[in-house]
Amino acid sequence: MDYWILLILWALVALIFALYIRRSRRRLRRIRHEREALETGEARMFSFLHVLGEAIETDTTPSRLYHMIVDGVEEVVNARGGAFYLINEERELLAPKYISENCPPLIGLPPDVLQKGANDPRAIESYMRLAQVRIDEGILGHCLALGQPIHVPDIKSHEAFRDAFSGFRGDVAAMLAPLRHAGTDIGVLAVARNHEDGPFKKNDFDVFKSMAEQSSFALGNAMIHMEAHEKRKLEEEFRTAREVQRVLLPAENPVLPGYRISGTNVPARIISGDYYDYLDLGEGRHGIAIADVSGKGLPAGLLMAMCRSVLRALSDAGDSPAQILGKVNRHLFPDIREDMFISMVYAVLDGPGGRVVMARAGHDSPLLFRRATGEVTILKPPGLAVGIDEGAVFERVTRDFEIEMHFGDCLLLYTDGVREAINEADEEFGIERMMEVFRSYAKLGAEASVLGVQREVVAFVDGAPQMDDITLVAIEKR
């Protein structure tokens, strides 16, 4: 009897031991599988980081980088799909920049879209790829507001969709992370699975958080690189535009019987809104124009080029300066923005005798130096700036103004960048100082007047930045 009891006991022990061995083997296999999965996941993540690092160092386009990040994270955590939403410039909306092919919906769908999607799944897919969401709405907005990665086992039950018009009906689990760089939100990265694929595990979430952090760094650096590239490209374009603009300015001063002419243009920026021009009108008549477009930079430069072309096209009609400016105004008015205008002076030298007829379209008043008296006079022909009125008022207000120049007299045309030059003490160069400087140099001639005024302005500002374009034209009677 004892023998059988002992045998049964031994059998039970053997059975328990066998069960333990089998369980241990299963556990070892599970641990081995988990370790292999971890090693595979780590290998995938290191591969992802390597590819991402190479992308940062090259001129990878933003679109390609979005693809790399979403597809890489999706593969490493074995998600069904993923998406990247970028915050727009107004920082009001999240715009889908890349949604992978099989990504489940991550935003609520309006009833009409759901209805169309019941018959045509492409309607839902199209809506997902185009719909922008407010940065404070849905699961994406919740993640952005929270400011940290989140794991949502069931999106449809999340409070972000409670009582929302665009409800969420899918059985979807997701991991989401806000992407930030230098303290600024960039967008939201998300990966998702349908419930039938199984839940995301803790290790998946840990890996996702790490990859999201690296993705933020990559995107931030890519944006900095892209901004620097765009800035260099823009500077090159501006330099090219400046070279084109130089061609539009006189290459040299004209040699005219009875006169000596000198002009210069010093832009405050790469592109100048000022210009001056010399025109041969035939029969011994010559036109001299100076103009200042309101504003600075490229828009002012483009309008300046338009004004020059129109003036040149109309100046040989034989009309008076006021009539020419009237025609220029009628041609340009339809194309000038409401917040822009052009001030200009157009003077015609009527042969070598000294008769000068000019018209002033809201421009700074020319200065006239009389050699006989040594005095400087401010000339104030009436006129309205180009682009303010479509024509009738401009032509009624703008009138010709005639002067006779004698030997040694000097006429100075200039833009407001001269008298409005400001020094470190916030003082303006001013019209009084300008008249004194012109008086001291005018007796030396046209070139001396231009160089002298320019030199005195530089000395006055004493290193302060030039705030406006400076253009000067001096006409000396010989």
| DSSP letter, residue 280 | E
CA distance 374 to 440: 9
Distances (CA, A) of 363 to 293, 349, 437: 10, 19, 20
CA distance 144 to 435: 62
Q: Are 254 and 321 in contact (CB under 8 A)?
A: no
Handedness of CA 266, 267, 268, 270 (dihedral sign): negative
Residues in a beta bridge with 236: none
User: Which pLDDT belongs to residue 164?
Assistant: 55
Residues in a beta bridge with 378: 367
The SS3 of residue 198 is coil
| 351: its two tokens | 């042969």
In 195-254, where does DSSP find H-type helix?
A: 202-248
User: Which pLDDT belongs to residue 38?
Assistant: 47
Q: Which amino acid is it at 304?
A: M
Residue 5's Cβ-count burial label (10 Å; 0-12, 13-18, 19+) is exposed
Query: What is the per-residue DSSP string for 110-169?
Result: -HHHHHHHHH-HHHHHHHHHH--EETTSHHHHHHHHHTS-EEES-GGGSGGGTT-SS---
User: Which pLDDT belongs to residue 39?
Assistant: 47
Q: At a CB cut-off of 8 Å and minimum separation 6, what does 208 contact? A: 73, 77, 149, 175, 177, 191, 200
Q: At a CB cut-off of 8 Å and minimum separation 6, what does 142 contact? A: 150, 158, 159, 160
Domain borders along the chain are 34-225, 250-477
CA distance 463 to 461: 6
β-strands 93-99, 133-134 pairing = antiparallel
Q: Are 173 and 154 in contact (CB under 8 A)?
A: yes
Query: What is the per-residue DSSP string for 286-299?
Result: EEEEEEEESS-HHH
Q: Are 52 and 72 in contact (CB under 8 A)?
A: yes
Query: What is the per-residue DSSP string for 405-473?
Result: --TT-EEEEE-HHHHT-B-TTS-B--HHHHHHHHHHHHTT-HHHHHHHHHHHHHHHHTTPPP-S-EEEE
Residue-level pLDDT, tens digit, the chain, 478 residues:
566 666 666 666 666 665 666 666 666 566 555 555 444 455 555 555 555 555 555 556 778 888 888 888 888 888 999 999 999 988 899 999 999 988 888 888 888 887 887 788 788 888 888 889 898 888 899 999 999 999 999 988 888 776 555 566 678 899 999 998 888 898 999 999 999 989 998 888 988 998 888 888 878 777 776 676 677 776 675 666 666 667 778 989 999 999 999 999 988 876 778 889 999 998 899 999 999 988 777 778 888 888 999 999 998 767 899 999 999 999 999 988 888 899 999 999 999 999 999 999 999 999 999 999 999 999 999 999 999 999 899 999 999 999 999 999 999 999 999 999 999 888 999 999 999 999 999 999 999 999 999 999 999 998 888 888 899 999 999 9
Structural Rg of the chain based on CA atoms: 38
Handedness of CA 316, 319, 320, 325 (dihedral sign): negative
- Tell me the HSE value of 275 on the side-chain side, using a 13 A CA sphere: 27
| DSSP letter, residue 386 | B
User: Which pLDDT belongs to residue 192?
Assistant: 93
Q: Which amino acid is it at 128?
A: M
- Closest by CA to 94, choosing from 54, 45, 144, is 144
Q: Which amino acid is it at 159?
A: E
pTM flag (> 0.75)? no
User: Which pLDDT belongs to residue 104?
Assistant: 87
Query: What is the per-residue DSSP string for 66-116?
Result: HHHHHHHHHHHTT-SEEEEEEE-TTSSEEEEEEE-TTPPP-S---HHHHHH
Distances (CA, A) of 368 to 170, 236, 445: 83, 41, 12
Topology given in CATH for the domain delimited by 250-477:
Phosphatase 2c; domain 1 (3.60.40)
| DSSP letter, residue 371 | T
Topology given in CATH for the domain delimited by 34-225:
Beta-Lactamase (3.30.450)
CA distance 302 to 61: 31
CA distance 410 to 380: 16
CA distance 165 to 58: 44
